[in-house]
Structure formats: structure tokens, C-alpha cells
Amino acid sequence: MADHIKNKVVIITGASSGMGKTAAKHLATLGATVVLGARRADKIEKLAKDIQNAGGKALAVAADVTKLDQVKHLVDTTVQQFGRVDVIINNAGIMPLSPMDRLNVEEWNSMIDVNIKGVLNGIAAVLPYMMEQKFGQIINTSSVAGHKIFNGSAVYSATKFAVRALTEGLRMEVKPYNIRTTIVCPGAVKTELLEHISEADIQRANQDYVAEVGISPDSFARVVAFAISQPEDVDINEVIFRPTAQEL
């Protein structure tokens, strides 16, 4: 696995915590150069130092994925520093679940901005470089909620269905440029996403469920590494993974 990951330049958004942070550490141990993007500059700078101290290669670049200019800066800086970008993992996301009749419109808009527009901004920033290079891989984080709807997930699921649609459309369009695309759909993973839920009853129900069946963010890191590690003529287009105990 490490042979196809070593020395690759990998951008990861949402790298300050959870699945993004764990993926960055894991890929760095496999020899990748990881470029960490997130709003919380202090957290990604500390993570970059931790990776460097452990013998890995990492660079932190503060970026809000809802701002195209900041995402372009993240990608441009990567290319300026390392000469190319092999992979981008558009991982940043939020999950303020709520029933639609509670009319949390600001939360709906935030999910659209981060979960959909954030992915589009990552694609827009990296695609010109990858088209010119004639290689690259774009990995977008969707969710099991991008396949199924559950109580309080209507808008969140809509954003994750959108990520799947965008990625499949992108896959069809980039074949002439030798670019690979991957959708990763996690199930119940123990991260801070549940902290975004403002409705106490919905938050409690989800916290209880994830506490019971949830798995470590390491699971995401291993899935991403598997997709990246494939030979260039193998395109892993979608991976759904859940805890073994998850029924939904």
C-alpha cells in the first residue's frame, strides 16, 4: 500500500479534527506529504508540527472552504511548495441535524455552504492543475446519509446526496485527463460532528447511538489510504463503510 502513497502530495480539508486529522496522520506515516486545510489555524499548525516531529512531511494552510479565494490559496500554496498536487480530500463538513419543521434555515444554509459549496470550491481550485498534469485524484466525503434518510437528516442528507451526484458527474468528465474520483461514505464514526447539532433531543439521540455503535476515525483513514494506494489504472469510485453493529 505504502508504495503507491509514498511521496504523494495530499491536500486535506477539515484537517483540524476527526476524520481529516486522523487521515493526515495516517497518510504521513505512509510517506505522503500532507497539506492541512482548516479554519482553525492553531490546530492545524500543531498537527503539522506533530507530524514533522514524528518524521513526516506536513504543511498547514488556514482556509475556510466556503471561501473560494481561500481554497485557491490552499491549492496554489501547495503547488508552489511541492510542485504539484496528487490528491485532494474534500473532507470538511458539518451536520446540524434537525427536523425540517423546526425551520433552522440558517443551519440549512450553513450545510449547503460547507458540505456542497465547500466541495465545489475544492474541485474548482484543484481541477486546472490536475488537468494540466494529466493525473490526480479527487476524494469527496459523503456519508451513509448520502444514501439513506433518517430522523432529522433531510437537509444534511440532501447535501451528501449532492456530493455523490457531483462526484459521479465529475468522474465522467475527467476521463480524458487521467483523473481519478472517489466518494467515501462513512457510517457512525466518533467525531465532533455531533457537537454541531443544536436541537437537544436530536443531539442526545445521535450521541447515544454513536456512543453505542460508533467506530474510530481511523476507519476513515484506512479507507482513504486504500483508495489512494491503488495503481493509477484503478479508480475506486465509491466506498461505503459502517460499524459492523450499525443497522441503518
Grid cell of 244 as nine digits: 459492523
Catalytic residue among 129, 156, 177, 209: 156
When the pLDDT of each residue in the chain is averaged and rounded to a whole number, the result is 97
The identity of residue 175, as a single letter, is K
Q: Mean pLDDT throughout 185-205?
A: 93
User: For residue range 98-132, what is the model confidence (pLDDT) as tens digits?
Assistant: 999 999 999 999 999 999 999 999 999 999 999 99
Please report, rounded to a whole number, the percentage of residues in the chain having pLDDT higher than 70: 99
Report the C-alpha gap between 141 and 115 in whole angstroms.
9
| CB proximity list for 36: less than 8 A, separation 6 or greater | 12, 15, 16, 20, 24, 44, 47, 48, 58, 59, 60, 61
The identity of residue 203, as a single letter, is Q
User: For residue range 137-151, what is the model confidence (pLDDT) as tens digits?
Assistant: 999 999 999 999 999
- The question of whether 209 is a catalytic residue gets the answer no
Grid cell of 198 as nine digits: 443544536
DSSP structure class, residue 247: -
Q: Mean pLDDT throughout 180-199?
A: 94
HSE-up (13 A, CA, CB side) for residue 16? 18
For 65-127, give the secondary structure using H, E and C. Answer: CCCHHHHHHHHHHHHHHHCCCCEEEECCCCCCCCCHHHCCHHHHHHHHHHHHHHHHHHHHHHH
Q: Mean pLDDT throughout 82-87?
A: 98
The domain defined by 2-241 folds into Rossmann fold (3.40.50)
Q: Mean pLDDT throughout 218-242?
A: 98
Grid cell of 55 as nine digits: 518524521
pLDDT of the residue at 1:
60
pLDDT for 9 beyond 90 = yes
Confidence class for position 2, pLDDT limits 50, 70, 90: low
Contact at 8 Å (CB) between 57 and 11? Answer: no
